[in-house]
């Protein structure tokens, strides 16, 4: 589902996302209130949200959406001059940060990764936000008392892998990976897997 107050932007995003038939846009919204109502009605697998919208804006709507226990993965669509909005969205609990000028194939891949439970971080956003959102990289290879397996799972988070992809790579059950992720969030003091991924990118694992 797409939430953006610019009809032309929504039309362009829909065209890109549906270009190869792997993604279907089930709904659109032009403001935060309409987005929340449409998500409740349509139950999309992924929601892409512009942070600047009328009414309850994108951030206010995301705060409500991400607090729901059954909330679908949500990604912020932003531009380089909106770093503060992205920082706030990270604290809210979104799973992705995408730039509006991303390559079409990258945007499609990002939606599919989000639907599979992964975290999606445009490298350009990471480069801008990492110095502000993470502590300086510690001198030791392992910044915390992580087990070998926790380090392997954390590396997967840093690379944006879904729980299913991490489980396949490590030969574990997906439920086991979910337990490792939960434990890592506690150890890192992170609210969600995106925060954990940003922190981990500053460390050698």
- This prediction's pTM: 0.69
Last residue of a domain, one of 132, 153, 188: 132
Q: Are residues 153 and 76 in the same domain?
A: no
Three-point CA angle 71, 34, 81, nearest 5°? 80
The pLDDT value recorded for residue 140 is 39
Give the pairing type, strands 74-78 and 96-99.
parallel
**Which range marks the domain in which residue 85 is found?**
2-132
Q: Are residues 102 and 148 in the same domain?
A: no
Q: Are residues 65 and 128 in the same domain?
A: yes
Q: Are residues 77 and 11 in the same domain?
A: yes
List pLDDT tens digits, range 174-198. 889 988 888 888 888 777 787 787 7
List pLDDT tens digits, range 37-83. 999 999 999 999 988 887 777 888 888 998 888 889 999 887 765 56
Check which CATH number belongs to the domain holding 172 and give it. 1.10.10.10
What's the whole-number mean pLDDT along residues 90-112?
Answer: 86
């Amino acid at each position: 589902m797409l939430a953006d107050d610019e009809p032309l932007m929504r039309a362009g995003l829909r065209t890109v996302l549906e270009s190869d038939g792997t993604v279907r846009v089930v709904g659109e919204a032009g403001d935060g209130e309409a987005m929340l109502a449409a998500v409740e009605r349509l139950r999309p697998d992924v929601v892409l949200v512009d942070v600047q919208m009328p009414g309850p804006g994108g951030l206010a709507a995301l705060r409500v959406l991400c607090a729901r226990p059954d909330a679908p993965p949500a990604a912020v669509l932003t531009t380089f001059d909106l770093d503060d909005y992205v920082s706030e969205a990270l604290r809210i609990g979104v799973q992705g940060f995408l730039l509006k000028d991303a390559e079409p194939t990258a945007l499609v891949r990002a939606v599919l990764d989000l639907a599979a439970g992964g975290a999606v971080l445009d490298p350009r956003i990471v480069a801008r936000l990492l110095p502000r959102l993470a502590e300086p990289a510690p001198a030791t290879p392992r910044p915390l008392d992580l087990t070998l397996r926790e380090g392997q799972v954390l590396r997967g988070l840093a690379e944006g892998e879904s729980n299913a992809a991490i489980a396949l790579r490590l030969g574990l059950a997906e439920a086991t990976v979910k337990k490792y992720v939960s434990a890592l969030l506690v150890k890192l003091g992170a609210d969600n897997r995106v925060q954990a991924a940003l922190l981990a990118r500053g460390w050698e694992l």
